């Protein structure tokens, strides 16, 4: 919540958030989720929204990757043959996930070695 959440947004350009649970391309046969999800960042976002367990997505021309785990990821180096990469997170779902996770009690945050 304190380290990753502040960096998540609806759209982050030149960023790979490492979404790898589902990949949709022009040859995908994943029914309604594949309806041109690979064609644009907005279409990829819409495909993620259709999956209840999708928390994030990453689009690059011809490919839509979606993930069910929250990951921050890494910047994309323009030199590594990737022309355009955009990532996004389903922020309401991320917030709901955070609310479901047990919070650390202050006394349990650090366990010091004895002796």
Residues 76 and 90: their CA atoms lie apart, in Å, by 20
Strand, coil or helix: what is 48? helix
Per the model's pLDDT, the better-predicted residue between 97 and 43 turns out to be: 43
3-state SS of the chain: helix, strand, coil percent to 5? Answer: 30, 20, 50
**H helix count then E strand count, the chain:** 2, 7
Give the model confidence (pLDDT) of 8-49 as tens digits: 999 999 999 999 999 999 887 655 555 689 999 999 999 999
- What pLDDT is recorded for position 104? 59
Task: Report CA-CA distances (Å) from 97 to 1, 10, 90.
Answer: 10, 16, 11
pLDDT tens-digit profile of 38-66? 999 999 999 999 999 999 999 999 999 99
According to CATH, what is the number of the domain 5-100? Answer: 3.50.4
């Amino acid at each position: 919540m304190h380290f990753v959440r502040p960096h998540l947004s609806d759209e982050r350009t030149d960023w790979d958030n490492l979404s790898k649970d589902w990949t949709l391309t022009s040859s995908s046969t994943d029914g309604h989720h594949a309806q041109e999800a690979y064609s644009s960042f907005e279409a990829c976002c819409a495909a993620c929204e259709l999956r209840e367990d999708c928390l994030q997505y990453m689009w690059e021309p011809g490919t839509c990757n979606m993930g069910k785990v929250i990951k921050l990821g890494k910047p994309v180096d323009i030199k590594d043959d990737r022309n355009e990469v955009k990532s996004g997170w389903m922020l309401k779902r991320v917030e709901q996930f955070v609310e479901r996770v047990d919070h650390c009690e202050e006394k349990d945050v650090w366990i010091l070695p004895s002796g």
